[in-house]
Amino acid sequence: MGEVEPRIAEWRAYVEQAPAVDGHDVEELETHLRDQIAELTAAGLTADEAFLVAVKRMGDLDSLSREFAREHSGRLWKQLVLSGDDEPARAVGGWVEPLLFALGAAVTVQIVRLLAGVPDEPPAWLLRNLGLFVLPFLAGYFARRRQLGTGDLLRTAVPFVLAALVVNLYPFRRDSVTGLLVALHLPVVLWFAVSYPYMDTTVRSHERRMDFVRFTGEWLIYYALLALGGGVLMGLTAAILEPAGIDAERVLEWVLPSGAAGAVIVAAWLVESKQHVVENMAPVLTMLFTPLFALMLTVAAVTYVVSGLAGGFDRDLIGVFDALLVVVLGLVLYAMSARDPAQPAGPMDRVQLLAVAAALVLDVMVLGAMVARIGDLGVTPNRVAALGLNLVLLVNLAGAAWLSVRFLTGRATFPRLERWQTAYLPVFAVWAATVVVVLPPLFSFT
């Protein structure tokens, strides 16, 4: 039964938090649980299966088990412990509700286009507010699905209202660099704001944060698939309309923005309603791309170190490396979210460590080049934003590398590495919010 001891310990720790359960009750319940596991194992179930079924049979603890399942991200656990009627707030339901939110986002985008005078040169405020036209509908969709109360709805709305006030009341100058930085970082801030209703307000739960990481990766997959399908549809539409003398380009200018906005909500609905499909895809994708990125990063790190090219980083190359580091971090997080925490260290964990270590070397080189550029050319909003991002990535990658080494050598558990990543996620949100709120006035909105 040794392989399920960590799961039993996790269950016991959770049961002990229940106000109506004292120490004697916990001992009795654990004994009953172990007897059930032994019985089921003798009947032919694996230890993990026996543990899950035994908890399901705990009778008086059904409600407590359901709460435990909500707090822990293993989907097999949720499928066995939670029944469809137990979690009405999480039920996926039909397609009408997401369609209404998607239509709301699509119509909002069209209204904004008319106000902005697109397709003429769009005003600067349009780019800065882009995330505010769509992501509130995604937050509203999750708030509706989770059946949040009035107080939670107000808390969900607060970051969107504050963001709207900041980006529209700040006196940005024409062609402002800080305005462009706000446009790039505000969607990141708002995406973290969406996590509040998605996680059913349990933002302090490490497991629910990892659920949101998993949702983000799956959402990107579905959105990419929708974008590819939409691109084919738009191309065929243009080909059909052109012989009829209809201005296909004009039609696409109207359809494309609405489709892109509506797909944000549709992709989220697909993640929740088709989880079993992506659950099969996620391990395959991470197994395929993690080694490829690890190899590419290692070759790049060795090449730049040996050749001495790191000293010649220019602004464009630094931007490419920053984007690459963010992608690698996202891939590592998604791979962690698709992994069973109870599994021992394996070859893929070593590949991930190689990717993190190579990314760490590249990040150090990029930081060195940026510090040199600031020393030579002075401080600008772009350099401060990029420097902050690389420092945030440096700490994250260093912590991940250290804990990965400890995990691979048996001195730490995988959940410890998971907790490091989920606990660090708010740092990215805080830095993005700093770029949006602090940097513009700091550089006089230039």
**pLDDT tens, 143-192?**
999 889 999 999 999 999 999 999 999 999 888 899 999 999 999 999 99
Q: What number is the average pLDDT over the span 414-442?
A: 92
Q: Rounded to an integer, what distance in angstroms lies between the CA atom of residue 15 and that of residue 18? A: 6
Residue 334: is its pLDDT beyond 90?
Answer: no
SS3 state of residue 22: coil
Least trusted range by pLDDT, from 5-9, 131-135, 140-144, 424-428: 5-9
pLDDT of residue 103: 95
pLDDT of residue 52: 80
244-293 per-position pLDDT tens digit: 667 767 777 788 889 999 999 999 998 888 765 555 566 677 778 888 88
Q: Which amino acid is at 414?
A: F
362-384 per-position pLDDT tens digit: 898 888 888 888 888 889 998 89
199-258 per-position pLDDT tens digit: 988 888 887 888 898 889 889 988 998 999 888 888 887 777 777 667 767 777 788 889
Confidence band, pLDDT 50/70/90 cuts, at residue 314: confident
Residue 195: is its pLDDT beyond 60?
Answer: yes
State how far the alpha carbon of 399 is from the alpha carbons of 141, 353, 357, 394, in Å.
Answer: 35, 11, 11, 9
pLDDT of residue 426: 93
Confidence band, pLDDT 50/70/90 cuts, at residue 65: low
pLDDT of residue 263: 93
pLDDT mean across residues, the chain: 82
Q: Rounded to an integer, what distance in angstroms lies between the CA atom of residue 175 and that of residue 122? A: 12
Q: Rounded to an integer, what distance in angstroms lies between the CA atom of residue 238 and that of residue 323? A: 33
Residues contacting 257, CB < 8 A, separation 6+ = 109, 110, 113
Q: Rounded to an integer, what distance in angstroms lies between the CA atom of residue 45 and that of residue 201? A: 36
Residues contacting 72, CB < 8 A, separation 6+ = 10, 207
pLDDT of residue 328: 86
Classify burial at 6, counting beta carbons within 10 Å of its beta carbon; exposed 0-12, middle 13-18, buried 19 or more: middle
Q: What number is the average pLDDT over the span 300-323?
A: 77
Of how many residues is the chain composed?
Answer: 446
Any idea what DSSP says for residue 60?
G
CB 390 within 8 A of CB 367: yes
39-59 per-position pLDDT tens digit: 888 888 888 778 888 877 665
pLDDT of residue 84: 43
Whose CA is closest to 328, among 351, 302, 355? Answer: 355
75-110 per-position pLDDT tens digit: 444 444 444 444 444 444 568 889 999 999 999 999
* C-alpha 87, offset from chain centre: 23
Residue 72: is its pLDDT beyond 70?
Answer: no
Residue 246 sits at φ, ψ, to 5 deg, of -90, 135
